[in-house]
Amino acid sequence: MQAVWVMLICLAATPGASASTCKGVAAIPGLPGVPGRPGSNGRDGENGHKGERGPPGQTEDQAELGEKGDAGLPGFPGKVGPKGPAGSRGAPGPRGALGRKGESGDYKTSLKSAFSASRTINMLPRRDQPIRFDRVITNENGHYENRYGRFTCKIPGLYYFTYHATSRGNLCVNIKKGKGNRGEKVVTFCDYVHNTYQVTTGGVVLKVKADESIWLEPTEKNSLVGIEGADSIFSGFLLFPDN
């Protein structure tokens, strides 16, 4: 401390003197001074430039997401829910076009079934096979099939069937009833002559069910002919339908 005072005195006494020209006695350096009090806080600096956006963060247990997988199989249908309330009634739609006029509701008009057909085939019919009466004369509602010589019932009830067969020799005819190709014999009519033309006639009333068929079959005595001027005819019609 003494050396500092000596230097200050030397500089003050000698104008133009400097620390290098003022020499004194070297002394031992003094102890450091007591630290000063902290200064006041400075002003806030200006905001810096906004940085680039970083990658999205991840939690510690979150793995890297892969590509989206295929859709799984549909699950089982759930239970049917309760029925909802009935909706309000909508407005009536536009009126449709008029349909075709139907048949009369009269009993006699709505339930009709009748046929009559003649045979124009010159060949003798086969034994135990339906006789074909191929030329249709009347076939109300189409219940007779001239291709097979069968009448098939579409209106169950009581029917009358009759035939007139021209023959030149012995002739026996069975009236048969059944479904498909199988049938049972109902009645048989026979006439016996030699080398002359004659007409054999037979008829029967039958109760016929729906889809049952009626037809004629010759036996071994078979001389039925079908030529112009000597017709053979098979007929039938509905008498009383079932209730």
Q: How confident is the model over 101-146, as pLDDT tens digits?
A: 766 655 555 689 999 999 888 888 888 889 999 999 999 999 999 9
Q: What is the pLDDT of residue 203?
A: 94
Asked if 161 contacts 153 with a C-beta cutoff of 8 angstroms, the reply is: no
Beta strands in 70-126 (DSSP E): 114-118
Residue type, 82: P
Q: What is the pLDDT of residue 19?
A: 47
What does pLDDT average to over the chain?
A: 81
Asked if 234 contacts 131 with a C-beta cutoff of 8 angstroms, the reply is: yes
22 pLDDT higher than 70 = no
**Matching residue, tokens 């039938």:** 236
Q: In 3D, which of 207, 174, 198 has the Cα closest to residue 188?
A: 174
Domain 114-241 has CATH 2.60.120.40: yes
* The most confident of 28-32, 64-68, 150-154, 167-171, by mean pLDDT: 150-154
Asked if 239 contacts 115 with a C-beta cutoff of 8 angstroms, the reply is: no
Listed by start position, the domains of the chain span: 114-241
CA dihedral 114, 115, 116, 120 (to 10 degrees): 180
Quote the CA–CA distance of 208 and 143 in Å, as a whole number: 13
